[in-house]
Structure 1
Amino acid sequence: MPDSHLTTEFRPRARLLQLLGDQLIANPRLAVFELVKNAYDADATHVSIVFEKINTRDARIVIEDNGTGMSETTIKNIWLVPGHDHREQQRLQNKRTEKGRLPLGEKGVGRFAVHKLGDKIKLITREEGHDECTVEIDWAKLTNVPMLHDAKVEIFTHATPNIFKNSSGTRIELSKLRESRWGRREIRNLYRQIVSISSPFGKDRDDFIVEFSVPDQPSWIVDLPDVEHILSQAPWRYSFALENGTFSFEYSFRGVPGVRVEPRTLTGTGERLKLPLRSDWDANLDSTSTQSKVVADQKTTAGIGTVKGHFYAFDRDRSVMSQFANASGIKMLLDEGGGVRVYRDGIRVYNYGESEDDWLGLDLRRVQNPTMKLSRNIMFGAIELELADSAGLREKTNREGFVENQAYARLRAIVLGALADFETHRFRDKEAIRKSTLSLTERRAERLTQPLENLRSALANKGLEREFAPILARIQADYQELQESSLRVGVSGLGLAVVFHEVEHGVRTLYGALEAGASPDSVLLQAKELMRVLDGFSELLRKGERKRNSLKKLIQRSREVSSVRFRNHDVKLVCPILEDENDGPFGVFAFGLVLGAITNLLDNAFYWLRVRWVTPLVEGEKVRKIYIGVDEDESGNPQIIVADNGPGLDADPEELTRAFVSTRPEGMGLGLYYANMVMELNEGTLSFPDPLDLDLPPEFDGAVIAMTFKRG
């Protein structure tokens, strides 16, 4: 048989359009959301959504807007053409509507949301200066024809308008609904999503209003929380902006009714935003990405533009929440709408901030550090972007967030960095509240027995006592051993009191999580973390005997342990004592423990040097420097001085030596805490002297830390 050549074409089946509606739009709620966004693109200022005769055979959804509407030509050449790119071209050409809007749509598939909702569709629309048009689609009939080109759609024009007599607009009537039952929960969730389509912080909030009604079940949506009213009561507020690499913020603690903690405010302009270090979530970043830096610069916002944000935080501790008159409304908002949403040009990007999407990993951060970090159920946030400047952020075809590319990873890093700054400021006021409320309601705070009994009772009520019993027994045993060991080795109670408090606070946190309805798996994970903390401190007490050791040899060993890191971070070590032939001075300490403490201090210094000196070399010379030397205090006790030329301490040293307190994004807050505890265990001290009181080279104007030992 001779060779032949055939030219043919794709022959899509008629059912393809219905499949597009099903597969490209994740769920019916998102389909309604997409139709509202279409109204925004049509320059509408008002959209109404009505669910009529809900949960009956005659149920229908009616969506009507006062936008520009469509002519017969537009329906034929754009609305009925899948994948038409006219919106994308408008955006690329920066062609704005009369109201100054750039279109949100870009792929030409959002209109298929109608096919996700109902099998019968009636479109009524009118463009100013044109006849009113009607299009009716019945999928039961259309899918009976085999090929798409056989699926004919009729467009009826009316010289005398029936709906839009004196204006333009579009009305979509959907019947034979594909979601057979819209229950109270689904309607409430949809209502919450629809009313959140416009940013609560936008400048022109009256420019786009969406109304939602269920005439047959009006009570389903009347008791939903008023977001604006509840946010006005938030004890903590934080706003920020990152523009051209410059970071500014406003922090406000308004106080809590009935709790005697003074309000305070902070502002920062011209700051540098610290970014979280690379981790599993930024796998999309290549090795040359700006995210390898620890501070944001102009390149960090490439393809993103200016990033603005607003965070509101609450305290769900019973003694605090009970001070609010509408505590139930606050809890409802946080449970159903807590988290961080994203808006572009004031219109929400779905599904950030929904219960099923923890795009920032807030809940995991909270589990890892419950003392300081914010989870979704105690905060509400919004990120604002400009559509024209954020071309690097492209929405997924299924309308569930951005494509997870490098621009998205950098956006996430920016938000987490700002959130970490907020958490640092909030922690101070949170601790003041805790101390105030404990003095009133929990005078047993320094004892573990009663909190453990409360926790066991709560576990028994939920049928979880058997599963948790071994862990609770271990926690109690380790706690008692830690107390006895500290007395046996003669450790000062000052440092260990902090440990005991953290353990007791951890047990109360577990109890509070159970009472608030947290999942057993989450509580179990927190319990195991608490057990590991205790294990670590027990090991700390058992690890090595104190004896007379050379400070010079300790410094020498510290340099050897960290030599690779000095090279990798381009840091110059200045250490005069290593050039001395003598072995002294000497102190009494456990060598291994103090070596670990110095390693933690160096770890902090390496990070903060990268914050101040983004470029490690200037004219071939290293500008990042660390000093390690020896000195004596006023009593003649030997000291190791660790100093750097970084930005210096940006918080009260007393706060930084507490467990889980960190000003580093994603920092666990255990480095200085560990170092301070080690010095306590060795009958020494960790202090933060004034550089002017020491004989330091003048370039070391950053953090200065002194480790003072008992004379040997």
Structure 2
Amino acid sequence: MATSTIPILFDKTHLTSIGERLYTQSLDLVRELVANAYDADATRVNIVAETDRIVVEDNGTGMDRAGIEQYFTIGSRFKKSYPTSRTYHRTRIGEFGIGKFAVLSLCDRFELYTRTETYAATVIFDKEDFEKREKWEVPIIEHEIGGSSKETGTRVVLYDIKKRLEVYDMDRYLTSTFPLTEPDFSLFLNERKLEPKYIVGERVTINHSSTFGKMKGEIILASLTIPRELTGIGVRVKGILVQRSTFELDQKHELMMRKITGEIRADFLPITTDRGGFIKDSPEYQYFMSFMQKKLQQVIKKLEKRSLAYSDTKSEKLLSDVLS
């Protein structure tokens, strides 16, 4: 009996299909680029959205040669090995190491320029050129560092966009997705700073520790009916909004849920690869689901009491007016 080996190969064209399958919304691709900037301790991220081009530029730490090689490593475990950033000790958002290639479903060519205090380089990724090469490699241009400037950061440019992204949609998506209330993080879209939305209403603070990890945030009993896209509790993992949920209470309490919103952060929740949902059969999510249902039921009871008290007051006033 002869024993030998066979190679395990990965076709280059799958880099595109991975992005198309994992990221069903084009806006998710922009999120990945901003998330990389956040992980690199950027305090400012500028996004320029044009008809056929998107630019995402930050003032983060930048990358040296080793950092660039790690960046282009599929499935890199760097962020799992180093889960917090060096300067602001942020919990890094990146997890799977494939998001940077997802942009290939939106464009066939992108350019990355990055600079540290001692190193600068440009990497050009052209899909057609990459697939023609025998080896898995892309051209890199290393620049000389001159002058006394200590500016650092990274700029990614997507060329010849296949599908135009509307600025209005990007604004709404990015505003709800990223932690814009953090003091050392600002996001600009076409030179306009994005600001978090403030909803007037009574707030119920959540600060709970479990065997899985901490849950922290607030449930808001809005004074007025809120827009549909803000209905439910936004669940954040590592600062990024994964989804909003009514925790299956909207069918029984549809009218009440229209006035309930808020956000909660639970970094221990396992998420799907596209970061668009949770692994719902995990024990972490099952615990979280049960906890949130109980909390929301308490809030709904409070709303019902408030509504009943308002109704009684209104009836008393009406009767008083009739008798007077």
Write the mapping of 1:24-423 to structure 2, written as runs, cut at 5 A.
Answer: 24-52=22-50, 54=51, 59-76=52-69, 78-91=70-83, 96-130=85-119, 132-143=120-131, 145=132, 149-160=134-145, 165-179=149-163, 181-183=164-166, 187-199=167-179, 205-213=182-190, 227-228=197-198, 231=199, 233-234=200-201, 236-243=202-209, 301-303=210-212, 305-314=213-222, 334-345=227-238, 347-350=239-242, 352-353=243-244, 358=245, 360-367=247-254, 370=255, 374-375=256-257, 377-385=258-266, 387=267, 390=268, 393-404=269-280, 405-423=282-300
Shift of 1:237: 2.3
Alignment deviations for residues 412-448 of structure 1 (CA, whole Å, 9 cap, x no partner): 1111111111222222222122344567799xxxxxx
Distance 2:240 2:91 in 1: 14
Asked whether the equivalents of residues 125 and 133 of structure 1 are also in contact (C-alpha less than 8 Å), the reply is: yes
The residue identity in structure 1 corresponding to 2:72 is L
Give the direction of change, closer, same or farther, for the CA distance of 1:435–1:122 in structure 2 (3 Å limit).
Answer: same
SS of equivalent to 1:17: helix
Alignment deviations for residues 259-299 of structure 1 (CA, whole Å, 9 cap, x no partner): xxxxxxxxxxxxxxxxxxxxxxxxxxxxxxxxxxxxxxxxx
Distance 1:106 1:198 in 2: 16
CA RMSD of aligned residues (A): 3.0
Alignment deviations for residues 348-369 of structure 1 (CA, whole Å, 9 cap, x no partner): 232x12xxxx4612322324xx
Distance 1:125 1:37 in 2: 16
Give the direction of change, closer, same or farther, for the CA distance of 1:441–1:196 in structure 2 (3 Å limit).
Answer: farther
Write the mapping of 1:603-614 to structure 2, written as runs, cut at 5 A.
Answer: none
Partner of 2:322: none
Write the mapping of 1:478-493 to structure 2, written as runs, cut at 5 A.
Answer: none
Higher relative contact order structure (alpha carbons within 8 Å, sequence separation ≥ 6)? 2
SS of equivalent to 1:140: helix
Shift of 1:157: 0.7
Asked whether the equivalents of residues 67 and 169 of structure 1 are also in contact (C-alpha less than 8 Å), the reply is: yes
Alignment deviations for residues 158-193 of structure 1 (CA, whole Å, 9 cap, x no partner): 10479x9531100000011132x334xxx3232122
The residue identity in structure 2 corresponding to 1:99 is Y
Distance 2:315 2:223 in 1: 14
* Alignment gaps of 5+ in structure 1: 244-300, 317-330, 443-712
Asked whether the equivalents of residues 199 and 343 of structure 1 are also in contact (C-alpha less than 8 Å), the reply is: no
Distance 1:311 1:161 in 2: 52
Distance 2:146 2:47 in 1: 21
Shift of 1:226: 6.4
Partner of 2:303: 426
Give the direction of change, closer, same or farther, for the CA distance of 1:89–1:160 in structure 2 (3 Å limit).
Answer: closer
The residue identity in structure 2 corresponding to 1:101 is R
Distance 1:100 1:225 in 2: 23
The residue identity in structure 2 corresponding to 1:120 is R
Give the direction of change, closer, same or farther, for the CA distance of 1:432–1:400 in structure 2 (3 Å limit).
Answer: same
Distance 1:4 1:199 in 2: 58
The residue identity in structure 1 corresponding to 2:82 is Q
Give the direction of change, closer, same or farther, for the CA distance of 1:401–1:160 in structure 2 (3 Å limit).
Answer: same
Give the direction of change, closer, same or farther, for the CA distance of 1:149–1:63 in structure 2 (3 Å limit).
Answer: same
Give the direction of change, closer, same or farther, for the CA distance of 1:212–1:437 in structure 2 (3 Å limit).
Answer: farther
Asked whether the equivalents of residues 113 and 123 of structure 2 are also in contact (C-alpha less than 8 Å), the reply is: yes
Distance 1:149 1:140 in 2: 12
Asked whether the equivalents of residues 93 and 240 of structure 2 are also in contact (C-alpha less than 8 Å), the reply is: no
Shift of 1:96: 4.5
Alignment deviations for residues 42-75 of structure 1 (CA, whole Å, 9 cap, x no partner): 11111111102x2xxxx20000111111112221
Give the direction of change, closer, same or farther, for the CA distance of 1:365–1:49 in structure 2 (3 Å limit).
Answer: farther
Distance 2:196 2:88 in 1: 28
Asked whether the equivalents of residues 123 and 136 of structure 1 are also in contact (C-alpha less than 8 Å), the reply is: yes
Give the direction of change, closer, same or farther, for the CA distance of 1:41–1:150 in structure 2 (3 Å limit).
Answer: same
Asked whether the equivalents of residues 126 and 170 of structure 1 are also in contact (C-alpha less than 8 Å), the reply is: yes
Shift of 1:28: 0.8
SS of equivalent to 1:364: coil
Distance 1:141 1:193 in 2: 33
Give the direction of change, closer, same or farther, for the CA distance of 1:182–1:197 in structure 2 (3 Å limit).
Answer: closer
More helix by share: 1
SS of equivalent to 1:349: strand
Distance 1:13 1:395 in 2: 27
Asked whether the equivalents of residues 14 and 149 of structure 1 are also in contact (C-alpha less than 8 Å), the reply is: no
Asked whether the equivalents of residues 241 and 309 of structure 1 are also in contact (C-alpha less than 8 Å), the reply is: yes
Distance 2:218 2:142 in 1: 48
Asked whether the equivalents of residues 39 and 85 of structure 2 are also in contact (C-alpha less than 8 Å), the reply is: no
The residue identity in structure 2 corresponding to 1:339 is G
Distance 1:90 1:441 in 2: 65
Distance 2:9 2:288 in 1: 42
* Alignment gaps of 5+ in structure 2: 320-324
Asked whether the equivalents of residues 341 and 348 of structure 1 are also in contact (C-alpha less than 8 Å), the reply is: no
Asked whether the equivalents of residues 198 and 208 of structure 1 are also in contact (C-alpha less than 8 Å), the reply is: no
Shift of 1:123: 0.4
Give the direction of change, closer, same or farther, for the CA distance of 1:435–1:16 in structure 2 (3 Å limit).
Answer: same
Distance 1:81 1:402 in 2: 25
Distance 2:188 2:102 in 1: 19
Asked whether the equivalents of residues 64 and 171 of structure 1 are also in contact (C-alpha less than 8 Å), the reply is: yes
Give the direction of change, closer, same or farther, for the CA distance of 1:64–1:437 in structure 2 (3 Å limit).
Answer: farther
Shift of 1:402: 2.5
The residue identity in structure 2 corresponding to 1:75 is I
Asked whether the equivalents of residues 119 and 176 of structure 1 are also in contact (C-alpha less than 8 Å), the reply is: yes
Partner of 1:562: none
Write the mapping of 1:7-22 to structure 2, written as runs, cut at 5 A.
Answer: 7-22=5-20
Give the direction of change, closer, same or farther, for the CA distance of 1:7–1:128 in structure 2 (3 Å limit).
Answer: same
Shift of 1:135: 0.8
User: Number of residues paired by the alignment?
Assistant: 319
TM-score (norm 1): 0.42
